[in-house]
Structure 1
Amino acid sequence: MVAVATEPSTLDPQLVNDRSSRIVTDNVFETLLVRDGSAQIQPKLADSYERVDDTTWRFVLHPGVTFHDGSPLDADAVVFSIERIIDPEFDTQRTSYTEGIAGAKKVDDRTVDILTDGKNPVLPAEMTSIPMVSPASAQQQSFGHEVVVGTGPYTFKSWQRGREIQLERHDGYWAEKPSIPAFTVRVVPDAQTALSALQAGEVDLVFDLFPEQSALAPQVKEVQASDFSYVAFNTYKKELSDPRVRRAMNLAVDKESLAKTIYQGHASPNQAQHLAKGMLGFSPGLAPFPYDPEQAKRLLAEAGYPDGFDLELHVPIGRYSKGEESADFVAAALDAVGVHTKVVKHDWNDYRTLGRVKGTEQDAFDLKYGWNSNEWFDAARIKSHITCEGASSKFCNKSVDQLVDAGANTFDQADRQRDYEQMWATLHDDPYSIYLLQQHYIFGTSKRLVWDPRPDDAYFVSTMKLTS
């Protein structure tokens, strides 16, 4: 039994991507490639792959794999899955996972070419993030209700809305079968109720354990995550259009104090970039913006706001560990330098939709608190948040776009590293967000659960065992 704080809006793995849905979809659906526990890309539904030319990658599928409905995982199914997720009419919220993919073409029953609209050095990483779906079931358009069909080790059994989702082991699974025969994902919005259920042995795993709860759990698992918390600016708003204002707002927030107080040391200030050491594009020359409220006030005055101005900061309820408290902390810090900030809290599914309103539109958020995951371990993952036409972006700097394009249009990793370091340097002078923390995932588990969490926020129940 797994407890999650927010209920998925859908179980269609190609439509949305959040933790509460992934604990289900990671186990029902599979991808052509997958990352192992040390984050290295490995074959999954594809036995092998190669780059044929600058715009073509060829994948050879594992033989004999079938979906839970009995249909084959063949080239036609892969082409369907790729074409479905990139179709603008499908309107996926996973556009950052499909950047540069132009389509797919069948070579033979077991061979597929993935086509790109130019050089795409992160195509293998993208293939770890695009689940394959059964064409027959997908065309019924019933995902999230009764029909959820993949190739994975578990099959969907039932969904009691507002309460729980049940899955059971697929006896016809093509690879090694998991040891846990079935599991349930229970929706428990209240953190104390979730902890009590864990203590009572009613659940085996609780996501996003609060730092102060860690001493009370039967067992705690923690991993430095590939998630980075931030507050995104709507730079189309007049008051936020000046980079000096945005640098001032970075200087106004004491990230060290946020990590030590709200997270009790279970997080650390990120180095003004949504990367960590070891990820491609990480810039070792950058450091967190220092806490300097007096300099923040001077910059605001230079920009023409000696008396500050009013903003709203939007945050989802229950989605991010200590998210609401972090938003309140940031708002108080901004208030202290004259940027009067009202925190507005939303249901997660409402926030996810409202947060994508373009910065040029009337109802766009001024400020948006969130976590950005980088399960690719590559700076290319940030593209949709920082480019002029990015689906999640309310920021535009043509120099940033040029550096993003340069990093995306070469297969030379040293050149990509250089381009992305320059990109982050530009985003330091012209910030798209308040850079906050590199998060840690804190999980509460039962004593009987044997499992090691992953930094990429994937949840494979097949890697878990119960001792009794």
Structure 2
Amino acid sequence: MRAGLALGLTVCLAVAQAAPLTVCTEAAPDGFDIAQSESAVTVDAVGNTIFDQLLMYKRGTTEFVPGLARAWRLSADGLQLTLELRPGVKFHSTPWFTPTREMNADDVLFSFQRMADAKSPWQAVAKGGFLMWHGTGMGDAIKAVEKVDAMTVRLQLKQPNALMQTLLANQFNSSVYSAEYGAQLLKAGKPELINTQPVGTGPFVFKSYQKDAVLRLSTHPGYWGSKPQFDQLVVAITPDANVRVQRLKAGECLIGANMRGETLGGFDGTAVKVQSEVGLLTGYIALNTQRKFLSDKRFRQALALSFNKASYIQSVYGGRALPAASFLPPSQWSHDKGLSSRFDVEQAKALVKASGYDGTELTIFTRIGGSIDGRRAAELMQADWAKIGVKVRVQMMEWGEMLRRTGAGEHDITFLNWAGDGDPDSFVNPNLSCDGVSAGNNKSRWCNKAFDALLAKARAHSDQGQRSQLYVQAQRMVAEEVPLIPTVYPQYFTAVNQRVRGFKSSPFADLDFRGVSLP
């Protein structure tokens, strides 16, 4: 039934406009205001399509290139960052908004201030808050945002911060919105529409969205950068991994995002080729340290010691992953090679007993769909922990619901992947800092002041060697305290039809269609 529905949907899409590039994704975006999100799925649908950032990355690399800021310079004392904006950048014209001018400094100020100002009317319509503004430390880094002139913005920093280029290339923090459109929505008393009727400067314009089914975007005719060489981008939301394979083989989808490793053999002898990327990606189990028993380090250590990573990698990833000992992946500078995983069921049993665990059933939250079989993965954890006397129940839910509920701390245990952006702080700060707890990114809800002090010290240094030493200390603290269990360094698979030209896999495990053509 589900396969039939998917096939029928594609026929309708094909009639709507000739020669679209149709992409199969595993989940729906959680909205279209990227600043409210923390979801990689939303980055694919919105962050690199509808919006541009002040700084960007050269496609397929971690190299910074000019984006909406064509140049930037840091003062000698490291406390002022001046951004020279790109002239001639046009916002999208849509049925709900017609811009009267090109992008300027007012738009950058609006984009930052709606996240930074706690009294802003935009705070009330951001249901979960501006998660990554706080979770990445962007909000703590900036003292003030100033308009120097129509095309120049100056950021006043609270202290020297080695992360500023990385933060200004982050889709969640640094996407630029139209101040004119914001004023129009406020005047109409409908600021919430920024999340359903988006307006950006990116290579694609929002056309329509059928919830949990299909997103339609058209190419932005006035785009300043490298234009995609096709008319329409269609995002077909296809949670079932096998249905994604069927649609790709049939040519109904030309790109398949975040494919499961066990399905890749289905493309042998077809026009579909698989691109793989190890990249800046780590799988992990988040243990809610604010919950009974999980607040005890000994109990968390027991769960880590009894988790069989070798079996997990074979059963869930088909062997296409490496066991993780650190939260930072091997491709991330400052990765601690000295850490190793231990598997010791007997010691785990002793730690469970010492913790005073009384047999209370814990709950694992996992998602429907995704790049792995969430139920199978959770049941393997359940079986491993049953061997040390820990009872666990598996609860399945949609991706958006899982993010919302784990952000609010309703879970005992959950597991996810995290993709960094080239700086180690992008792993540890959102997921392990005290700010990350209040922002909702830190699913372990672990707040350790000594750990936060290490991160702050690392951000203040410009020397990468000194920063690396501090991040190694941070990794060892995490290994001892076990707020989370690093599980795997997975490969990220993207299936691409040979008709698609110029697509490049990203080390950040996201999708970028700039410069892509479809003959």
Per the TM superposition, whether the score is higher than 0.5 is yes
Q: Partners in 1 of 2:67 and 2:238 — Cα distance? A: 33
Corresponding residue for residue 454 of structure 2: 403
Q: Structure 1 residues 138 and 318, CA, compared in 2 at 3 Å: closer, same or farther?
A: farther
Does residue 66 (structure 1) correspond to residue 90 (structure 2)? The answer is yes
Question: Out of 327, 343, 347, which is 1:295 matched to?
Answer: 347
Q: Is the 8 A contact 1:9 1:144 kept in 2?
A: no
Shift of 1:124: 0.8
Q: Structure 1 residues 397 and 96, CA, compared in 2 at 3 Å: closer, same or farther?
A: closer
Does residue 165 (structure 1) correspond to residue 165 (structure 2)? The answer is no
Does residue 3 (structure 1) correspond to residue 44 (structure 2)? The answer is no
Normalized against structure 2, the TM-score is what?
0.83
Shift of 1:192: 1.9
Larger mean Cα displacement after TM superposition, 380-389 or 404-413: 380-389
User: Number of paired residues?
Assistant: 458
Q: Partners in 1 of 2:430 and 2:274 — Cα distance? A: 34
Larger mean Cα displacement after TM superposition, 11-20 or 89-98: 89-98
Q: Could you give the per-residue CA deviations for residues 179-225 of structure 1, whole angstroms, max 9, x where no partner exists?
A: 12221111222222221111111110112222221011232121113
Q: Partners in 2 of 1:173 and 1:74 — Cα distance? A: 15
Corresponding residue for residue 29 of structure 1: 51
Shift of 1:163: 2.4
Shift of 1:255: 1.1
Unaligned runs of 5+ in 1: 359-363
Q: Partners in 2 of 1:9 and 1:210 — Cα distance? A: 22
Q: Structure 1 residues 196 and 352, CA, compared in 2 at 3 Å: closer, same or farther?
A: same
Question: In structure 1, what residue type is equivalent to 2:33?
Answer: D
Question: Out of 115, 131, 144, which is 1:93 matched to?
Answer: 131
Corresponding residue for residue 207 of structure 1: 257
Corresponding residue for residue 353 of structure 1: 404
Shift of 1:367: 1.1
Percent identical pairs in the alignment equals 26
Does residue 286 (structure 1) correspond to residue 339 (structure 2)? The answer is yes
Question: Out of 181, 186, 192, which is 1:137 matched to?
Answer: 181
Considering only aligned residues, what root-mean-square deviation do their CA atoms show, in Å?
2.0
Which structure shows the higher helix fraction?
A: 2
Does residue 83 (structure 1) correspond to residue 113 (structure 2)? The answer is yes
Shift of 1:264: 0.9
Does residue 16 (structure 1) correspond to residue 62 (structure 2)? The answer is no
Corresponding residue for residue 512 of structure 2: 460
Shift of 1:125: 0.3
Question: In structure 1, what residue type is equivalent to 2:333?
Answer: L
Does residue 47 (structure 1) correspond to residue 99 (structure 2)? The answer is no
Question: In structure 1, what residue type is equivalent to 2:506?
Answer: R
**What is the correspondence of 1:328-367 to structure 2 with a 5 Å cutoff?**
328-358=379-409, 364-367=410-413
Q: Partners in 1 of 2:454 and 2:277 — Cα distance? A: 31
Instruction: Specify the SS of the correspondent of 1:165.
Output: strand
Q: Is the 8 A contact 1:66 1:151 kept in 2?
A: yes
Shift of 1:239: 0.8
Q: Structure 1 residues 271 and 465, CA, compared in 2 at 3 Å: closer, same or farther?
A: farther
Unaligned runs of 5+ in 2: 1-21, 94-98, 186-190
Q: Partners in 2 of 1:303 and 1:81 — Cα distance? A: 47
Question: Out of 252, 274, 277, which is 2:330 matched to?
Answer: 277
**What is the correspondence of 1:302-313 to structure 2 with a 5 Å cutoff?**
302-305=354-357, 309-313=360-364
Q: Partners in 1 of 2:229 and 2:474 — Cα distance? A: 46
Normalized against structure 1, the TM-score is what?
0.92
Q: Partners in 2 of 1:99 and 1:259 — Cα distance? A: 37
Shift of 1:351: 1.4
